[in-house]
Chains A and B, each alone.
Chain A
Amino acid sequence: MAGVDGEKKPVLEMVQADGADEGCVTFVLHEEDHTLGNSLRYMVMKNLDVDFCGYSITHPSESKINFRIQTRGAVPAVEPLRRGLTELTDLCQHVLNTFEKRVSEFRSQCEEAE
């Protein structure tokens, strides 16, 4: 990436074999582990365009994951990744809203009972 000073630590890298099309990419996500890896893998697998999706932790002492996406058709691999991230965000938002609503309902239910 041009214009970035040497001190900055990478957050996300893309590794692509020469000659492969845009649909088969391995993303290297830094400072991540099974927490985001497994949940993101699930969301990306739920996408129809994705042929293969998997992640691995290269070495337990290094906190980075190799996240591989292979797509069907001519879809660039960045697209299911982006969609998986947005869908995971929407899922979390819905879980948060439902949880907070139910907690306040439970609280008011307890107060009524007293």
Chain B
Amino acid sequence: IYCGAYDVKDNIAKMAATMSNVDEIRNRVILGEFNVKNVHTTDYPGNYPGYDDTWSLQKFQKNFRIDVVQMDETCMEFDMVGIDASIANAFRRILLAEVPTMAVEKVFIYNNTSIIQDEVLAQRLGLIPIKADPRLFEYRNAGDEEGTEIDTIQLQLKIKCTRNHQATKDSADPQELYLNHMVYSKDMTWVPIGNQADVLADANIGPVHGDILLAKLRPGQELDIVMHCVKGIGQDHAKFSPVATASYRLLPEITLMKTVEGEKAERLKRCFSPGVIELENHGGKVVAKVMNSRLDTCSREVLRHDDLKNAVKLARVRDHFIFSVESTGILPPDVLVSEAIKVLMAKCQRFLSELDSSEME
């Protein structure tokens, strides 16, 4: 296996300094000018003579690590090193589509005299994130129309717009003229069913954000709506997705193959994102040095310049994933990642028990 786009003489000369060809194919994704090389995982047993690639949990545990870079209530950035792309992608897919949440599913409209149509209003209500821990609830049984206290949250929106008689005679500001003319998500109130008032007393159940504008009213118009929230997953409808988004990127690696100095160094610095390349003073001359390749967005701009493209090698580390998870506020991002890992375990368990039960027959 030979990735032959490089000048062979250069490669042989640099062999001592850079990693060997085989290690590069195994560990790096090379970003070329017109293509990307070594994309697929190749370290399966039997592919490389001299390497033992059979799965070993001890070897995995030794090489695997997680580093949390930044974390707050909604957003989290962490590194997962030493894992394969298929598993990292599985976690990302589960975060987007298979971690359950509660969202408005059934909207009972008793009165809607606003200009927002029933179905449009119902769709907007469905997309509002509801702050309720989905682990405390169960899925609704198929065919069950009523809903019980263990699988349903009931919310109510009852609001009427009236004229403000205290407003000045010739005011044109709707804020002054009307009362309750903007319907926000904070106007949605929780109506406990059954024993929810005792069990969930201190859980503040309601929308995560109170400032989502749902409808605008004028005097005489009113909304009288009851909503039922159920547990669901993003695969069914995107309103159930618990993340604003969850994504990952591979750690970029930039190596300078030649020393770049003077005016070329200045141009090289401008080809990358700020902070990646810094200029150092070596005996009066400015020399470029790679400071922090993690900040790079891999635009490959440097490969557009003929005099600079042979001085740099752009690659990505194949098993280093920089995850970014942004939650909608229902669950904190670290809880979301833990739940995603548990979902993947549950999937495996489901098939294992299926295999065991069919074996017994």
Listed in ascending order, the chain A residues whose CB lies under 8 Å from chain B are 1-3, 11-12, 29, 32-36, 38-43, 45-48, 78, 81-82, 85-96, 98-100, 102-103, 105-107, 110
Flag whether B281 is at the interface (Cβ < 8 A): no
Interface of B is mostly: helix
| B354 neighbours in A (Cβ, 8 Å) | 11-12
Contact A87 B345 (CB under 8 A): no
Known contacts A81-B355, A95-B80; 10 further A-B pairs (Cβ under 8 A): A12-B355, A34-B93, A35-B90, A87-B57, A88-B348, A91-B87, A94-B61, A99-B341, A102-B67, A107-B71
Complex partner residue of A45 from B44, B90, B337, B344, CB under 8 angstroms: B44
Docked pose: A99 CA to B34 CA in angstroms: 37
Contact B98 A92 (CB under 8 A): no
| A43 neighbours in B (Cβ, 8 Å) | 55
Flag whether B351 is at the interface (Cβ < 8 A): yes
Number of B positions contacting A (CB below 8 A): 45
Q: A36-B90, A96-B338 are in contact. Are A86 and B352 (CB under 8 A)?
A: yes
| A33 neighbours in B (Cβ, 8 Å) | 93
Closest A residue by C-beta to B92: A35
Contact A85 B351 (CB under 8 A): yes
Contact B352 A85 (CB under 8 A): yes
Closest A residue by C-beta to B337: A99
Docked pose: A11 CA to B346 CA in angstroms: 14
Contact B60 A94 (CB under 8 A): yes
Contact A85 B348 (CB under 8 A): yes
Listed in ascending order, the chain B residues whose CB lies under 8 Å from chain A are 41, 44-46, 53-55, 57, 60-61, 64-68, 71, 78, 80, 83-84, 86-87, 89-90, 93-94, 98, 334, 337-338, 341-342, 344-345, 347-352, 354-355, 358-359, 361
| B86 neighbours in A (Cβ, 8 Å) | 38-39, 41-42
Q: A48-B54, A99-B337, A99-B338 are in contact. Are A42 and B358 (CB under 8 A)?
A: no
User: Can you give 29 A-B contacts (C-beta < 8 A)?
Assistant: A12-B354, A12-B358, A29-B351, A34-B89, A34-B93, A36-B90, A36-B347, A38-B86, A45-B44, A46-B45, A46-B53, A46-B55, A47-B45, A47-B54, A47-B55, A78-B359, A82-B352, A91-B87, A92-B341, A96-B341, A99-B66, A99-B338, A100-B334, A102-B67, A102-B68, A102-B78, A105-B68, A106-B68, A110-B71
Closest B residue by C-beta to A34: B93
| A106 neighbours in B (Cβ, 8 Å) | 68, 71
| B361 neighbours in A (Cβ, 8 Å) | 1-3
- What 7 A-B pairs come out closest when comparing CB atoms? A46-B55, A106-B68, A38-B86, A42-B86, A39-B90, A35-B93, A96-B341
How near does chain B come to A24, taking the closest CB pair, in angstroms? Answer: 17
How near does chain B come to A8, taking the closest CB pair, in angstroms? Answer: 12
Q: A11-B354, A96-B342, A102-B66 are in contact. Are A46 and B54 (CB under 8 A)?
A: yes
How near does chain A come to B348, taking the closest CB pair, in angstroms? Answer: 5
Closest B residue by C-beta to A43: B55
How near does chain B come to A57, taking the closest CB pair, in angstroms? Answer: 13
Closest A residue by C-beta to B52: A48
| A12 neighbours in B (Cβ, 8 Å) | 351, 354-355, 358
Complex partner residue of B87 from A42, A85, A86, A100, CB under 8 angstroms: A42
Docked pose: A35 CA to B106 CA in angstroms: 30
| B55 neighbours in A (Cβ, 8 Å) | 43, 46-47, 87
| B68 neighbours in A (Cβ, 8 Å) | 102-103, 105-106
How near does chain A come to B241, taking the closest CB pair, in angstroms? Answer: 14
| A87 neighbours in B (Cβ, 8 Å) | 55, 57
Docked pose: A34 CA to B92 CA in angstroms: 11
Docked pose: A91 CA to B341 CA in angstroms: 10
Docked pose: A79 CA to B313 CA in angstroms: 44
